[in-house]
Chain A
Amino acid sequence: MPIIDLQKRLGINLDNWLLLQSGEQPYKMPARCHAFEKEWVECSHGIGQTRAKKECLVEFEDFYECMHRQKTHARLHAIRQQRDKMVKEGTYTPPPCHSGKADQVP
């Protein structure tokens, strides 16, 4: 992707180790969104940025969601709001596993 890959030509690794989450990690610990980032990078490698924004939108959205979990949080928030509304109306009581001390048996 870069025009002159100076670091690869000189065989040094000045900052490549901190650019990608999917790169070489110390102790081989993977990032939380390793798979999503890898897929996005593989999808958008070689084609230009304009094309990548169009063609790799799905992968990018998945990666973004994995990182920030905005949609997940909004969904959980909606569920919680609805539950509180129903509890206030009295139409719903939380089951014992969801309130207080439940038996923590796997």
Chain B
Amino acid sequence: MAGSKVKQDMPPPGGYASFDYKRNLPKRGLSGYSMFGIGIGIMIFGYWRLFKWNRERRRLLIEDMEARIALMPLLQAEQDRRILRMLRENLEEEAIIMKDVPGWKVGESMFHTDRWISPMSEELLNLRPRKELLQKRFGFLWYV
């Protein structure tokens, strides 16, 4: 290889300027412990708020239950009157309908005891259109 004057691509005179090539991982941000601390602090604050609101909900629930308890005699009395009225109507209609049937005792109880036995919906709604019985039994759904 002769050292003659060949045009080569050489660095500029004085060399290149220096640039930083070393790793640059600056320490920044919070430390790990403090991040944990902030997280746990937020969680504790959330729990505190939740428990407070749960206590408030419990108080509201107790208020609702007490309102229901206060209204219960009225609603029970209304329902009792309604049931008795329906039983009375059924009894009178039965007397009219079955007067030609031999050996029929009107208003006969099917039990040997003479306690009060709550009537079934079939007994109450016997002489009404069947739609009412179906509505009473299946009209309200507990599930969604």
- The interface of chain A, by Cβ under 8 A from chain B, is 32, 35, 58, 61-62, 65-66, 69, 71-73, 75-76, 78-80, 82-83, 86, 92, 94-95, 97-100, 104, 106
Contact = CB atoms under 8 A, between A and B. Distances in A.
Given A69-B120, A98-B89, A106-B78, A61 B112 contact: yes
Nearest to A97: B89
A101 to B, nearest CB: 10
B111 A106 contact: no
B79, B85, B98: residue with the most chain A Cβ atoms closer than 10 Å: B98
Contacts of B108: 75
B93 interface: yes
A106 B85 contact: yes
B112 A62 contact: yes
Interface in B62-86: 78-79, 81-82, 85
Interface of B: 78-79, 81-82, 85, 89, 93-94, 96-98, 101, 108, 110-113, 115, 117-118, 120, 122-123, 126-129
Contacts of A95: 89, 93
Contacts of A32: 118
Given A62-B112, A76-B122, A83 B89 contact: no
A28 to B, nearest CB: 16
Contacts of B122: 69, 72-73, 76
